[in-house]
Amino acid sequence: MKIRQAMAQIMAPTIQCQMRITKNSLTASPMTAKTWSSLLLKQKKSGNTKSLSKFRVYALKSENSTINRLENLLNLDVTPYTDKIIAEYIWIGGSGIDLRSKSRTISRPVEHPSELPKWNYDGSSTGQAPGEDSEVILYPQAIFKDPFRGGNNILVICDTYTPAGEPIPTNKRARAAEIFSNQKVINEVPWYGIEQEYTLMQTNVRWPLGWPVGGYPGPQGPYYCGVGADKSFGRDISDAHYKACLYAGINISGTNGEVMPGQWEYQVGPSVGIEAGDHIWCSRYLLERITEQIGVVLTLDPKPIEGDWNGAGCHTNYRFTP
């Protein structure tokens, strides 16, 4: 319970991020979270005192009242009231790098993906199927705890198939799973350590976080593993992602600020075989969701800024037992 409460605090965006409003937009001073003021009806009289020409209705509310009501629902623990859980089915979209997901209710908690039903989606809307034959089937392959919903709710990594059971062209996991299930490969115990670099971008201008709009920061050098408001941009996002991965059961092993300001890296592994792919993709999903909440754009672009600025890669370290 303490871990879930801590995650809820970490994942919750600030008031301004959630509401996208400023203090000047409020129509009244803040009130308690449970209070909506009574409506003020302002009567304007014109000639006949019995006739009412206009009413102006003022709904006086506070930031906290709206935020708290929403947070109460988002953090609601339904476990005491139902055995049902929410499963978020996650898959890779048509570009090969974009992530998609949708939710469904499962009748009880599960421990293995084989306990979950297959599902479907419209592949013509993700660039993975033609409009006249758009159904794509999701096969659950790996389960992680859901740090956003908490409780027994889960994240489900899926791969994608035609209704006839054939992997669609963007399904690279099926072939990888075939290779990793080979006994010779199993005997080698293939270990992977993956270093995922990424860049945080300002939402409206597509310029790195912490950079002056239309301008450039000081030269690279002080930012790598740097500390301080003029050297580290996005640490809260990195830390929130780190804890979300640990909560979910992802084998994350570390994180650090990178060479270019606004750029970060985290490491997943050592993981064995297909597990490495499932863990890195789920970690990317968590990062996308966290940046979505805070209002920052995530990019895995290997060269987000042209010129003498550090690129972003996904370095893969490999070890096997001969």
Tallying the residues shown for the chain, one arrives at: 322
The CATH code of the domain that includes 98 is 3.10.20.70
Per-residue DSSP letters for 176-208? HHHHHTSHHHHHH--EEEEEEEEEEE-TTT--B
Same domain, 168 and 276: no
The answer to whether position 288 is within a domain reads yes
* Helix 235-248 × helix 274-294 angle, to 10°: 130
The answer to whether position 284 is within a domain reads yes
The answer to whether position 14 is within a domain reads no
The answer to whether position 8 is within a domain reads no
Task: Specify the number of domains making up the chain.
Answer: 2
Residue 320: its pLDDT value, please? 84
Same domain, 215 and 124: no
pLDDT tens over the chain, length 322 residues: 444 444 444 344 433 333 333 333 333 333 333 333 333 333 344 444 444 444 343 344 556 777 788 888 988 889 999 999 999 999 999 999 999 999 999 999 999 999 999 999 999 999 999 999 999 999 999 999 999 999 999 999 999 999 999 999 999 999 999 999 999 999 999 999 999 999 999 998 989 999 999 899 999 999 999 999 999 999 999 999 999 999 999 999 999 999 999 999 999 999 999 999 999 999 999 999 999 999 999 999 999 999 999 999 999 999 987 7
Question: 3-class DSSP state for residue 286?
Answer: helix
Same domain, 255 and 134: no
Same domain, 226 and 174: no
Same domain, 173 and 195: no
The answer to whether position 65 is within a domain reads no
Query: Domain ends where: 142, 160, 181?
Result: 181
Lookup result for tokens 């990793």 = 180
Residue 58: its pLDDT value, please? 39
* Helix 274-294 × helix 173-180 angle, to 10°: 150
Same domain, 170 and 223: no
The CATH code of the domain that includes 279 is 3.30.590.10
Nearest-angstrom CA–CA distance, 13 and 19: 10
Same domain, 174 and 201: no
Residue 39: its pLDDT value, please? 31
Query: Domain ends where: 181, 200, 224?
Result: 181
Nearest-angstrom CA–CA distance, 196 and 185: 25
The answer to whether position 110 is within a domain reads yes
The answer to whether position 33 is within a domain reads no
Residue 309: its pLDDT value, please? 96
What range defines the domain where residue 201 resides? 189-319
Q: Which residues contact 52 (CB under 8 A, 6 or more apart)?
A: 43, 44
The answer to whether position 163 is within a domain reads yes
Same domain, 200 and 219: yes
Same domain, 167 and 218: no
Query: Domain ends where: 181, 199, 223?
Result: 181
Nearest-angstrom CA–CA distance, 322 and 312: 32
Nearest-angstrom CA–CA distance, 186 and 180: 6
H helix or E strand, kind and range, residue 264 = strand 263-272
